[in-house]
Amino acid sequence: MQTVSTLHDDRTVSKLGGLGAPARDASGRLLPEIWMQDGAKRVEQALARLLNAEDDGETELMAAMRYATLHGGKRTRALLCLAAGALADTPAHMLDDVGAAIEMMHACTLVHDDLPAMDDDLLRRGLPTVHVKFGEATAILVGDALQAHAFLTLSSLNAPGDNRIALVRELAQAVCAEGAAGGQAIDLSLVGKHVSLDRIVAMHRMKTGALVRASVRMGALCAIAEDPAHAALYCALDRYSACFGLALQVVDDILDATADNATLGKTPGKDAAAQKPTCASIMGLQAARQFALDLLRDAGEAIFPLGPRAERLAQILQRADAHLLKHAPCA
């Protein structure tokens, strides 16, 4: 099976170093494309190891779980975890598995989001969605099992019990009824309705922002407890992720209306076709675009006080900014 990892240039990565030995240019600037590529590759290797059915034989369920997790994706949430982890001096080996657990949970939400009872999508990451390829019942079970494997991964980490409990709680909070699951329920309830921007923003913060926030916090929580001594750090990270998480969904809404099939790896125009109110439909494309750019700028300002150790988090914002400007240019 070809994975995204096989698309990376291993020689370039190993020559220039990975998270353990960050690749910098002559003036000492961290090269974003190198650490992101290397980080994504390491998380994908962890996913392949953690979702390995060799002992039991490859069941169709496990094949479908690997299909849902190992074929592409920008790996934004895992990279957020790695970036926050680097900031907190979390050991790299721990981050790989935490990043993999986050990507499993993210894939679970995507597989369920694509189901006929939800968004009824046929294409994801440039491939047939899991229910199209494996059937609806298997897709439901893929989501269930990925969620369980995410928690299994966190609870099996080689880390003190308190750290593991903090990570499990963080991920559970992100996808519970007050997080992604609740946000998805609101999303479905708003189909065909005229709603305020505030309502959409609140929904986006739940369905997408909550897991983004957890991804950042989990990278830091591996090494730094959330205690009064670190209140300023967690406050900056929370402000960053609140802005970035919302921006991520606003950009997704904009690109749904503006980008093509090849860029999205998904069917374009789905939100309008399904009569989903989005930031783009309520504000108009140009205002939504400006809203997203402002949010990305605000996210950068939130981590400015953290100084150079937040460099990777800043580079993730720059990547999102460039992606938006490239695929939704100003009218």
Nearer to Mg ion, 103 or 114 (CB): 114
Nearer to ligand IPE, 252 or 311 (CB): 252
Consecutive H or E run containing 230 = none
Q: Is 327 in the site for ligand IPE (CB under 6 A)?
A: no
Nearer to ligand IPE, 89 or 260 (CB): 260
Cα–Cα distance measured from residue 321 to residue 326, given in angstroms and rounded to the nearest whole number? 9
Q: Give strand pairing partners of 24.
A: 30
Q: Give strand pairing partners of 123.
A: 128
Q: What are phi and psi of 127, to 5 degrees?
A: -130, 160
- Could you give the residue ranges of the DSSP H alpha helices within the chain? 10-16, 32-50, 60-70, 76-87, 92-113, 130-134, 136-155, 161-175, 180-189, 197-204, 210-221, 231-258, 261-264, 270-273, 279-283, 285-303, 311-327
Beta carbon of residue 263, minimum distance to ligand IPE (angstroms, whole number): 11
Cα–Cα distance measured from residue 10 to residue 219, given in angstroms and rounded to the nearest whole number? 25
Nearer to Mg ion, 103 or 256 (CB): 256
x/- map, 164-203, ligand IPE, by CB under 6 A? ----------------x---x-------------------
Beta carbon of residue 26, minimum distance to Mg ion (angstroms, whole number): 40
Beta carbon of residue 53, minimum distance to Mg ion (angstroms, whole number): 28
Nearer to ligand IPE, 208 or 258 (CB): 208
The residue number whose beta carbon is nearest to Mg ion equals 119
Among 37, 109, 138, 281, the residue binding ligand IPE under the rule CB under 6 A is 109
Cβ(77)–Cβ(103) under 8 Å?
yes
Among 44, 96, 103, 113, the residue binding Mg ion under the rule CB under 5 A is 113
C-alpha to C-alpha distances, 118 to 170, 185, 203, 257, nearest whole angstrom: 25, 9, 15, 19
Cβ(45)–Cβ(96) under 8 Å?
yes
Q: What are phi and psi of 140, to 5 degrees?
A: -60, -45
Region of 17 on the Ramachandran plot (φ > 0 left; ψ -120 to 50 alpha; else beta): left
Nearer to ligand IPE, 111 or 168 (CB): 111
Beta carbon of residue 77, minimum distance to ligand IPE (angstroms, whole number): 7
Q: How many residues bind ligand IPE (CB under 6 A)?
A: 19
Q: Is 205 in the site for ligand IPE (CB under 6 A)?
A: no
Cα–Cα distance measured from residue 110 to residue 114, given in angstroms and rounded to the nearest whole number? 6
Beta carbon of residue 262, minimum distance to Mg ion (angstroms, whole number): 16
End-to-end Cα, the chain, rounded Å? 41
Q: Is 252 in the site for Mg ion (CB under 5 A)?
A: yes
x/- map, 33-72, ligand IPE, by CB under 6 A? ----------------------------------------
> Radius of gyration of the chain from Cα atoms?
19
Cβ(75)–Cβ(60) under 8 Å?
no
x/- map, 246-275, ligand IPE, by CB under 6 A? --xx--x---x---------x---------
Beta carbon of residue 163, minimum distance to Mg ion (angstroms, whole number): 32
Among 8, 24, 125, 323, the residue binding ligand IPE under the rule CB under 6 A is 125
Work out what residue 180 binds among Mg ion, ligand IPE, none; the CB cut-off runs from 5 to 8 Å by kind. Answer: ligand IPE
Residue written as tokens 């969904």? Answer: 249
Among 41, 131, 149, 207, the residue binding ligand IPE under the rule CB under 6 A is 207
* Interacting residue ranges for ligand IPE, rule: CB under 6 A: 73-74, 76, 106, 109-110, 113, 119, 121, 125, 180, 184, 207-208, 248-249, 252, 256, 266
